[in-house]
């Protein structure tokens, strides 16, 4: 009976295209980055400039596409109830290395204004935990962000 129900449900769900899947992943990652940007309740000019630059470098999208994704992510992030909904998407699609790069980007944004606030630190640590990264990986990415090296 359960097998028939599962078969029925899977046959009536339209598969998500690769483009849609990539967009969901991008929105999840950008939402997590926005969590860091807004953690200290101020949007520093350096943070505001760094986020689109990071996205342009990592996603190979044009500025208009990046601006659209950021606006969509702001809406999603603003109505989210937890980090889990974003990290779950990332866990389902990303490798350990990609998760590490996301944490590195979060650290870079946190340090962009020259000061790390405790809320930024908490969000990054909680995100790393939800992404199943080791504490040593978290520290390695933090040190890389501080030193300005790509991979620590």
Total domains in the chain come to 1
Q: What is the CATH number of the domain that holds 30?
A: 1.10.3680.10
- Number of neighbours of residue 46 by Cβ within 10 angstroms: 13
In a domain, 109, yes or no: yes
Q: Are 75 and 92 in contact, with CB atoms under 8 Å apart?
A: no
In a domain, 26, yes or no: yes
What is the pTM assigned to this prediction?
Answer: 0.83
Distance CA 93, CA 7 (A): 23
Distance CA 55, CA 60 (A): 7
| CB-count burial class (<10 Å; 0-12, 13-18, 19+) for 103 | buried
In a domain, 95, yes or no: yes
pLDDT per position in the chain (152 positions), as tens?
Answer: 556 555 655 555 566 777 888 888 999 999 999 999 888 777 777 888 888 988 888 887 888 989 999 899 989 888 888 899 999 999 999 999 999 999 999 999 999 988 899 999 999 999 999 999 999 999 999 999 998 755 44
Angle at CA 24, nearest 5°, toward 31 and 21? 160
């Amino acid at each position: 009976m359960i097998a028939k129900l599962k078969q029925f449900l899977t046959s009536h769900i339209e598969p998500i295209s690769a483009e849609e899947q990539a967009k969901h992943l991008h929105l999840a990652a950008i939402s997590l980055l926005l969590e860091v940007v807004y953690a200290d309740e101020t949007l520093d000019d350096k943070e505001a400039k760094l986020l689109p630059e990071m996205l342009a470098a990592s996603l190979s999208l044009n500025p208009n596409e990046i601006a659209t994704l950021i606006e969509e992510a702001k809406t999603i992030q603003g109505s989210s109830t937890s980090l889990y909904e974003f990290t779950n998407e990332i866990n389902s699609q990303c490798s350990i290395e990609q998760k590490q790069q996301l944490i590195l980007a979060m650290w870079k944004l946190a340090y962009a204004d020259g000061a790390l606030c405790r809320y930024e630190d908490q969000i990054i640590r909680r995100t790393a935990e939800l992404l199943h990264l080791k504490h040593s990986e978290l520290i390695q990415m933090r040190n890389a962000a501080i030193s300005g090296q790509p991979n620590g």
